[in-house]
Each structure stands twice: as structure tokens, then as C-alpha cells.
A and B are shown apart, each in its own frame.
Chain A
């Protein structure tokens, strides 16, 4: 009896090990996917940040009253594409420049040559050359406006680069996603393969296909959930250590976005594992028993 018991515990250890290996390999794949998601989210934020900082500056004529200037600012604020405006008066502009130069050029020159201006920033989605030139034209029609200043080539360049980078990221994540499905599929199939005789026996005692399959699929989904939770722990550790670097690029990580990311990891994990389990079990349900030994 004692020999049986040791055998039993050896079998249990083995079963446990294979279960742990399954969970760990799935969670590693999900961890990679999550990391990818994190990169995409931050790239998105980064591109938004860059685009929203593009903007342009509207210089105003000297003889315009401040009320008129503020009216123009209000008008700009009302344009849907505009995210924010900042009015810088003549004196403020001088102060900023004095700080930058470290020299009081106003007293040196005897007058302030700078014009009052309005800094206009756009929503990321509207930071395109088309919007820029459209609004520029509109503004130049105003009598208060002296000139509109922006670098057209820079806007083109930024938009082009961001487009290229997002295409690369998209392709990269599609490849990674397919690899994940293949890897998880293999892991699951191996697990189901080890139970093929069990499935055969269940068939022979009169269980319907669905009755056999459902517990497998539920267990698969549970494994997916467990793996996703493990990978979220890894991800959290990763984010914790990387947060200082991330902050430099894209500011603080949005808790809401992080929640969406974690939730997607869980859903993708459960979806892939249950779907692959479903197909793996169905394969053995369809197989004639002779072919099980092949």
C-alpha cells in the first residue's frame, strides 16, 4: 500500500508540473501580447503628444486693441479643431525673450519690437497640413492678424513618420498575435492529446460530444484566466520598474487605459484557450478509435 501511495504522489507531482508548465507557457505568451499592447497605447499617446504640440502662432498687428485680440482668441477657441489657445501679450513676449537671452534688450533698444501673439494647438486628429492651411487662410482674412507662423514641412514629416511607425507596429503586433495563437494552440493540443484515451472512453460509455467537450472548454477558459492573471502580475511588475522611463515619453500611465489593457489580456487569454480547446477536443471526438494510437 505504501508503494502505491508513493506512486500516487509521484503521479500527482507530475500532473501538477505539467499543469504549471501549461499555465506558465500561456502566461508568457500573454505577457508578450500585453507588453505589445502597452507599447501601442504609449505610442498612441506619444504621437498625440507630438501632434498636439505642433500648432502654430498667430502674430498680431501692433495697433490692435487688446479687446480685439481677446476677441480673436475667443473666435479661435470656438473652432472645433482647436484644442487650446494661449494669448501672449507684447510685454509677456518681451519678458520671455529677456529670460531666454539673459539681457534686457528693451532698454537697450529703447522700444519693444515684439508683437503680441496667440499660440494655437490642435487636437491630435486634426493636426494635418490640410487643417493648418485652411485655418491659416481664414485667419489671414482678419485685419488684426499680421502673420501666421508654422513649419509646413515639419507637419508633413511628423505625420508621415507617425504613419510609418504605426504601420510597423501594426504589422509587428499582428505577427506577434498569430505567433501567440500558434503557441497557445500547441500547448493546449498537447494537453488534450494526453487525454485522448479518456475522451475515447467517455464516448464509449455513451456521453454526447457536447457533454464531453464542455468541461474541457470551461477548464480551458479557466486556464486562460489563470494565465492572464499571472501575466498581468508580470506586466504590473514591468510597468512599475519602467514607469520613470515611460513618464519621460508619454506622461503618467492612464489607470483607465491600463485597466482596458489588462481586461483585454484576460479576454484574449480566455478566448484563445477556450477556442483552441474546443477544436482540439473536437478533433479527438471525431477520430475513430483505431487512429488514436497513431
Chain B
């Protein structure tokens, strides 16, 4: 595995013990790459993402994510994997019982930050990146969907992760807000983090073309140039 590789999966079988979802999975992702993951609902996109954060074990094959071996990772090491691999969710998944500040502070404290000053500084930092400094003391339900997703992204950035997994991050948002979020994610990938985004939104694929991986019939396949190869009409999602 070269220094620039953050994800490397070889010949893996993904699924639950009695039921395979993806087989012969080969995947190699480098620093700073932006990757789309497409496929029908139920094709295994979410399972792949769950595998990358240690929620689903590899049944067969080898896999390394951010230096953690997926095959023999211990339960108590998973929290540490999740500090290197951040997730952004379709439904934002903010802690609804506390303010934006407390949401972010929770993550920092959970990952070993102790000094109040450092925590405040880091929170201001990531909120600046998503332009939401002025919403620091709002409750999640007081924010719009786009704002909540930007907080989700800010949260994902807190610990300088190597990989950001975005599971349909624009699924609940209008086209204009989706575009904002896309620009934000792309700028994040330019700072050297790998961004893997599962999506159904082919408008976005067209507008921001990147390396695209398709989940279909229990396999992953690479689509080299999404503009020419994907026949959007025939995909029939």
C-alpha cells in the first residue's frame, strides 16, 4: 500500500454471514480523490460504506482503511477508525438534544480533546469553513436542512479525517442547496482528503464529473469517464 492510498480492498466479500451483498470487491482510493458511488437502492452502496467504518465485517478478502485492517479490527478499536473516517448522512444525524456548539464539542471531547480553549478554537475553525459561525448556539431544529448538513460536514471535519464518506448527502436538499454542499465537499477533497459520496442525483454527476464506481448485481465496477459512459436514460433509477 503506497503512502497516498487511504483505502485498499482486495477480493473482498461483504455482507451478513448468511447473505452476501457484494462480492469480488476491489477498491483502491488515494488521498484527495473525489469518488461517486452509484447504484440502485439495495445494490450495496450503504453496505460498502458500513464496511468502511467498521460496522460490517469483511467476510472474505483483505481490506485496509486509513491504516486499520478491516479483517481483524477489534470492537474497541472501531471508535479510533471512525476518527480517521468521518461520515456525512442523508438525514444529518445531529444530536438533536443539544446546540450546534455542543454537538461539535461532544465529538471533540469524545475523541480526547481536553482544553476548553482548543475546543472552542477548533469549533470556530470548522464553522468558518462551512460559513455557519453565527449559528453556533442554535439548536439543530432551528436550522434549515442545508444548514444542518453543513453542520454535519463541519462535524466530519473536526478531527482532520483522511476519508469522508457521504451517504447521499444531498438526498434531502433542494438543487440549489445541493450545489452548495457539493462545492463544499469538492473543496474539502482538494485539501487532501478522500471523499466518497453515494448518490442518486445524476444531475450532480453530470455537473461535477469525478471518478465513478457503480454497484450492480453484487459487484463493483469502475466507470472511467462518467460523461460519456453512463447512459443516464438507460440506468432507469
Give chain A's interface residues, CB within 8 Å of chain B: 4, 7-8, 11, 195, 197-198, 200-209, 211-212, 288-289
Contact = CB atoms under 8 A, between A and B. Distances in A.
B16 to A, nearest CB: 9
B190 to A, nearest CB: 24
Contacts of A204: 53, 82, 87, 93
Contacts of A198: 95-97
B155 A205 contact: yes
Contacts of B81: 206
B95 A201 contact: yes
A8 B95 contact: no
A203 B53 CA distance: 11
A8 B99 CA distance: 13
Given A202-B95, A208-B79, A211-B110, A289 B55 contact: yes
Contact of A4 (B80, B87, B142, B159): B142
Contacts of B159: 206
Interface string B139-152: 10110000000000
A204 B46 CA distance: 14
Nearest to A4: B142
Contacts of A212: 110
A63 B93 CA distance: 98
B59 interface: no
Nearest to B159: A206
> When A and B form their complex, which 3 residue pairs have the shortest distance between CB atoms, in order from nearest?
A207-B110, A206-B82, A206-B83
B210 interface: no
A4 B79 contact: no
A119 to B, nearest CB: 70
B106 interface: yes
Contacts of A205: 82, 86-87, 106-107, 110, 155
A187 B76 CA distance: 29
29 contacts: A4-B141, A7-B141, A8-B139, A8-B141, A11-B141, A195-B97, A198-B95, A198-B96, A201-B94, A203-B79, A203-B82, A204-B82, A204-B93, A205-B86, A205-B87, A205-B106, A205-B107, A205-B110, A205-B155, A206-B79, A206-B81, A206-B82, A206-B83, A207-B79, A207-B111, A208-B76, A208-B110, A209-B76, A212-B110
Contacts of A4: 141-142
Most buried by A among B79, B95, B111, B139: B79
B13 to A, nearest CB: 18
Contacts of B110: 202, 205-208, 211-212
B118 to A, nearest CB: 17
Contacts of B139: 8
Most buried by B among A201, A203, A212: A201
A interface: dominant SS: helix
Given A206-B79, A208-B79, A208-B110, A201 B141 contact: no
A123 B29 CA distance: 84
Given A4-B141, A289-B55, A206 B107 contact: yes
A206 B77 CA distance: 10
Contact of B55 (A202, A208, A288): A288
Contacts of A209: 76, 79
Contacts of A211: 109-110
B198 to A, nearest CB: 15
Contacts of B106: 202, 205, 207
Most buried by A among B94, B96, B155: B96
B123 to A, nearest CB: 14
A289 to B, nearest CB: 6
Interface in B47-84: 50, 53, 55, 76, 79-83
Contact of B93 (A11, A195, A201, A206): A201
Contacts of A11: 141
Nearest to A201: B93
Nearest to B83: A206
B142 to A, nearest CB: 6
Interface in B100-151: 106-107, 109-111, 139, 141-142
A207 B76 CA distance: 10
A7 B139 CA distance: 12
A126 B1 CA distance: 82
Contacts of B107: 205-207
Nearest to B77: A208
A197 B109 CA distance: 19
Nearest to B97: A198
Contacts of A201: 93-95
Nearest to A1: B142
B111 A206 contact: yes
Nearest to A208: B79
Given A7-B141, A198-B96, A205-B87, 6 more contacts: A195-B97, A201-B94, A205-B155, A209-B76, A209-B79, A211-B110
